[in-house]
Chains A and B, each alone.
Chain A
Amino acid sequence: MNSISTMITTTTSTTKAATMSESKISARNVQVFYGEKHALRDVNIEIRPRSVTAFIGPSGCGKSTFLRCLNRMNDTIASCRVEGSIGIDGENIYDPKVDPVQLRAKVGMVFQKPNPFPKSIYENVAYGPRIHGLARKKSDLDDIVASALQKAGLWNEVKDRLQESGTGLSGGQQQRLCIARAVAVSPEIILMDEPCSALDPIATAKVEELIHELRSNYTIVIVTHSMQQAARVSQRTAMFHLGLLVEENDTDKMFTNPDDQRTQDYIMGRFG
Chain B
Amino acid sequence: MTSHIFSAYDEDLKYLNRRISEMGGLAEQMCGDAVRALVNSDAALAQKVISDDVILDHAEREIQEKAIVTIARRQPMASDLREIIGTLRIAGDLERVGDLGKNTAKRVIAVQGTGVPRKLARGIEHLSELALIQLKEVLDVFANRSVAKAEAIRQRDEEIDAMYTSLFRELLTYMMEDPRNITTCTHLLFCAKNIERIGDHATNIAETIYYIATGAQPEGERPKDDSSNTLGAVAE
A264 located at the interface, meaning its Cβ lies under 8 Å from any Cβ of chain B in the complex: yes
Docked Cα-Cα span, A227 to B75, in Å, equals 9
Question: Chain A residues with Cβ under 8 A from B76's Cβ?
Answer: 268
Selected from A227, A256, A263, A272, the residue in CB contact (under 8 A) with B215 is A256
Please determine whether A268 and B78 come into contact, CB atoms closer than 8 angstroms.
yes
| Contacting residues of chain B (1-25) with chain A, CB-CB under 8 angstroms | 1-6, 9
Given A256-B215, A257-B215, answer yes or no on A270-B2 (Cβ-Cβ < 8 Å).
yes
Total contacts A-B at CB 8 Å: 45
B148 located at the interface, meaning its Cβ lies under 8 Å from any Cβ of chain A in the complex: no
B-side interface mostly: loop
Please determine whether A264 and B78 come into contact, CB atoms closer than 8 angstroms.
yes
Given A228-B75, A255-B77, A257-B215, answer yes or no on A269-B4 (Cβ-Cβ < 8 Å).
yes
A70 located at the interface, meaning its Cβ lies under 8 Å from any Cβ of chain B in the complex: no
Please determine whether A257 and B78 come into contact, CB atoms closer than 8 angstroms.
yes
Please determine whether B6 and A256 come into contact, CB atoms closer than 8 angstroms.
no
B82 located at the interface, meaning its Cβ lies under 8 Å from any Cβ of chain A in the complex: yes
Please determine whether B1 and A227 come into contact, CB atoms closer than 8 angstroms.
no
A1 located at the interface, meaning its Cβ lies under 8 Å from any Cβ of chain B in the complex: yes
B79 located at the interface, meaning its Cβ lies under 8 Å from any Cβ of chain A in the complex: yes
- In the assembled complex, how far is the CB of residue B92 from the closest CB belonging to chain A, in whole angstroms? 20
- In the assembled complex, how far is the CB of residue B17 from the closest CB belonging to chain A, in whole angstroms? 16
Please determine whether A268 and B75 come into contact, CB atoms closer than 8 angstroms.
no
B162 located at the interface, meaning its Cβ lies under 8 Å from any Cβ of chain A in the complex: no
Please determine whether A256 and B9 come into contact, CB atoms closer than 8 angstroms.
no
Docked Cα-Cα span, A258 to B80, in Å, equals 12
Docked Cα-Cα span, A270 to B75, in Å, equals 13
- In the assembled complex, how far is the CB of residue B218 from the closest CB belonging to chain A, in whole angstroms? 14
Question: Chain B residues with Cβ under 8 A from A227's Cβ?
Answer: 75, 77
B121 located at the interface, meaning its Cβ lies under 8 Å from any Cβ of chain A in the complex: no
Docked Cα-Cα span, A256 to B83, in Å, equals 11
Number of residues on chain B facing chain A (CB within 8 A): 17
Question: Chain A residues with Cβ under 8 A from B82's Cβ?
Answer: 256-257
- In the assembled complex, how far is the CB of residue B155 from the closest CB belonging to chain A, in whole angstroms? 24
B81 located at the interface, meaning its Cβ lies under 8 Å from any Cβ of chain A in the complex: yes
Question: Chain A residues with Cβ under 8 A from B9's Cβ?
Answer: 269
Please determine whether B215 and A270 come into contact, CB atoms closer than 8 angstroms.
no
Return the chain A residue nearest B75 by Cβ. A228
Return the chain A residue nearest B81 by Cβ. A256
Selected from B1, B6, B79, the residue in CB contact (under 8 A) with A269 is B6
Return the chain A residue nearest B10 by Cβ. A270
- In the assembled complex, how far is the CB of residue B86 from the closest CB belonging to chain A, in whole angstroms? 12
Return the chain B residue nearest A261 by Cβ. B2
- In the assembled complex, how far is the CB of residue B75 from the closest CB belonging to chain A, in whole angstroms? 6
Given A227-B75, A228-B75, answer yes or no on A270-B81 (Cβ-Cβ < 8 Å).
no
Docked Cα-Cα span, A271 to B9, in Å, equals 13
Which residues of A come within 8 Å of B, CB atoms?
A: 1, 227-228, 231, 255-258, 263-265, 267-272
Task: Report 9 cross-chain contacts, Cβ distance below 8 Å, ordered by A residue.
Answer: A227-B77, A255-B77, A256-B82, A264-B78, A267-B77, A268-B76, A268-B78, A269-B4, A271-B4
Please provide the 8 A-B residue pairs with the shortest distance between their CB atoms, ordered closest to farther: A257-B215, A267-B77, A270-B2, A271-B2, A268-B80, A255-B77, A268-B77, A269-B5
